[in-house]
């Protein structure tokens, strides 16, 4: 051992590093609980044992005991004796209840296949990342698992009512475009609430668009294109366009904003939902999951934003309010409003011509 090393610092770096490995391994254990219905079976039951949980989920008791003890060690399930376990209601809102905005357990299903990890390593050499279709089988569902709970909780009930005149227009029949629509969750939420409107989704991910096409196979007021935002025609007839958590993923969000500008009516509205970030990097340190954000950027958002040559390469935290304001001005928009929404991760902007 090198004599010059500060042993306290050494042990801290060592623990910090192994805690990330612990996170990786516990992620798999959370996924198993989600997949096997273990959290759901504990929800609302109060005190339970491995024997009871194994019976109600038709799993093997010894495996269930190890799973319960792992969750207890991770602080996700409570126990005082290692034999009786409780999933507290607040933990259930995160790990069991898929209708809650806090629901997170489904996110842990997406462990990257080796070819995706190889592709990302290659991107460090070539500069060219993987687009969303390059993220492997089922990755489109992982995106919905990540972004969906907040959309379900906030889009219709809180965000749309903040936008000047948009709710009224959609109620009577508006042309709505969802840019970067993914698997179509936001369109589904709006189409249910505003059936008189027509909805068009654009996304270059054919994986995501094929899930959306199945989802809306019998709905005539919904049309989907596996095309990027740059391909939206300048029809000047859309009442409402939204980009939810996707401008920073685009290789050329500046071109996308110009295309959106051309698609909107003169009194139309653009809603942008973007990851909360600051142009002053030090302010971002207040984010308790900042490292998760950057890791997601490397594996997904920056990768998509650099999946071409000649990109802006923004990535997860790359589109802060100042930059978005400058880009919307450049695209020809004149009005820019940031709304207050109870969402710990995202910022919401109302932008118009
Ligand atoms: C984080 S996902 C968000 C999906 C959806 N809006 C939601 O909130 O669940 C980002 C989406 O942006 C899409 N995307 C990437 N580049 C794009 C582009 N040039 N034009 C439109 N969408 C794009 C990806 O394919 C992906 O579906």
Mean pLDDT of 257-282: 97
The ligand 1 atom at the shortest distance from the C-alpha of residue 253 is: 19
121-134, pLDDT tens digit by residue? 999 999 999 999 99
Q: Does the beta carbon of 304 lie inside 6 Å of ligand 1?
A: yes
> Alpha helix (H) ranges present in the chain?
7-35, 38-42, 50-57, 61-73, 89-95, 114-126, 139-154, 166-172, 185-193, 206-215, 253-263, 281-284, 290-296, 302-305, 321-331
Distance CA 177, CA 52 (A): 49
Q: Does the beta carbon of 274 lie inside 6 Å of ligand 1?
A: no
Candidate from 180, 201, 208, 231 with most ligand 1 atoms within 8 A of CB, to mutate? 180
Q: Does the beta carbon of 203 lie inside 6 Å of ligand 1?
A: yes
- 290 C-alpha to center of ligand 1: Å? 21
- Residue 222: left (phi > 0), alpha (psi -120 to 50), or beta? beta
Answer yes or no: are the C-beta atoms of 222 and 191 closer than 8 Å. Answer: yes
Q: Whose CA is nearest to atom 15 of ligand 1?
A: 250
Domains of the chain plus CATH, in order, are 7-100 (1.10.10.10), 114-352 (3.40.50.150)
pTM for the model stands at: 0.93
Q: Whose CA is nearest to atom 16 of ligand 1?
A: 250
pLDDT value at position 1? 60
Backbone CA torsion sign across 138, 142, 143, 148? positive
Distance CA 37, CA 102 (A): 18
Residue 266 has pLDDT above 70, yes or no: yes
Mean pLDDT of 89-110: 93
Answer yes or no: are the C-beta atoms of 244 and 151 closer than 8 Å. Answer: yes
Mean pLDDT of 104-120: 90
Distance CA 255, CA 40 (A): 45
131-146, pLDDT tens digit by residue? 999 999 889 999 999 9
Long-range CB pairs of 134-138, under 8 A, 24+ apart, other chains included: 134/303, 134/307, 135/300, 136/112, 137/113, 138/109, 138/110
pLDDT grade for 3, boundaries at 50, 70 and 90:
confident
Q: Mean pLDDT across the chain, nearest whole number?
A: 96
Residue 2 has pLDDT above 70, yes or no: no
Q: Tell me which residue of 265, 254, 189 sits closest to 228, measured CA to CA.
A: 254
Answer yes or no: are the C-beta atoms of 352 and 328 closer than 8 Å. Answer: no
188-244, pLDDT tens digit by residue? 999 999 999 999 999 999 999 999 999 999 999 999 999 999 999 999 999 999 999
Residue whose token pair is 């809650």: 100
Helix (H, G, I), strand (E, B) or coil at 49: coil
Q: Looking at residue 158, what DSSP letter applies? A: I
Q: Does the beta carbon of 139 lie inside 6 Å of ligand 1?
A: no
Distance CA 179, CA 244 (A): 8
Residue 120 has pLDDT above 90, yes or no: yes
285-339, pLDDT tens digit by residue? 999 999 999 999 999 999 999 999 999 999 999 999 999 999 999 999 999 999 9
pLDDT value at position 90? 98
Distance (Å) of CA 86 to CA 41, 74, 75, 322: 11, 13, 11, 46
Distance CA 31, CA 111 (A): 9
Mean pLDDT of 60-71: 97
Answer yes or no: are the C-beta atoms of 293 and 275 closer than 8 Å. Answer: yes
pLDDT value at position 225? 98
Helix (H, G, I), strand (E, B) or coil at 200: strand
Residue whose token pair is 């071409």: 308
Candidate from 182, 231, 312 with most ligand 1 atoms within 8 A of CB, to mutate? 182
């Amino acid at each position: 051992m090198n004599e010059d090393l500060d042993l306290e610092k050494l042990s801290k770096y060592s623990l910090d590093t192994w805690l990330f490995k612990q996170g990786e391994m516990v992620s798999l254990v959370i996924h198993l609980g989600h997949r096997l219905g273990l959290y759901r079976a504990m929800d609302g039951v109060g005190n339970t044992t491995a024997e009871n949980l194994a019976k109600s989920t038709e799993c093997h008791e010894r495996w269930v005991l190890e799973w319960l003890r792992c969750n207890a060690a991770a602080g996700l399930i409570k126990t005082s004796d290692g034999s009786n376990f409780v999933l507290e209601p607040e933990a259930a809102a995160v790990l069991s209840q898929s209708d809650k905005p806090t629901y997170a357990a489904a996110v842990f299903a997406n462990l990257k296949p080796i070819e995706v990890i190889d592709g990302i390593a290659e991107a460090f050499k070539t500069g060219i990342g993987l687009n969303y279709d390059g993220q492997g089988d089922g990755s489109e569902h992982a995106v919905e698992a990540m972004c969906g709970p907040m959309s379900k909780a906030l889009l219709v009930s809180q965000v749309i009512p903040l936008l000047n005149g948009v709710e009224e227009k959609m109620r009577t029949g508006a042309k709505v475009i969802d840019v970067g629509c993914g698997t179509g969750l936001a369109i589904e939420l709006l189409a249910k609430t505003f059936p008189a409107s027509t909805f068009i989704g654009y996304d270059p991910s054919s994986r995501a668009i094929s899930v959306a096409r199945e989802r809306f196979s019998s709905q005539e007021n919904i049309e989907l294109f596996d095309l990027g935002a740059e391909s939206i025609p300048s029809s000047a007839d859309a009442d409402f366009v939204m980009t939810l958590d996707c401008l920073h993923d685009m290789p050329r969000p500046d071109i996308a904003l110009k295309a959106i500008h051309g698609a909107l009516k003169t009194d139309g509205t653009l809603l942008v939902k973007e990851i909360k970030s600051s142009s002053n990097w030090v302010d971002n340190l207040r984010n308790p999951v900042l490292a998760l954000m950057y890791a997601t950027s490397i594996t997904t958002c920056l990768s998509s934003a650099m999946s071409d040559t000649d990109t802006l390469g923004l990535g997860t935290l790359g589109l802060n309010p100042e930059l978005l304001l400058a880009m919307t001005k450049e695209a020809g928009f004149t009005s820019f409003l940031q709304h207050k929404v109870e969402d710990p991760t995202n910022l919401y902007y109302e932008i118009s011509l």
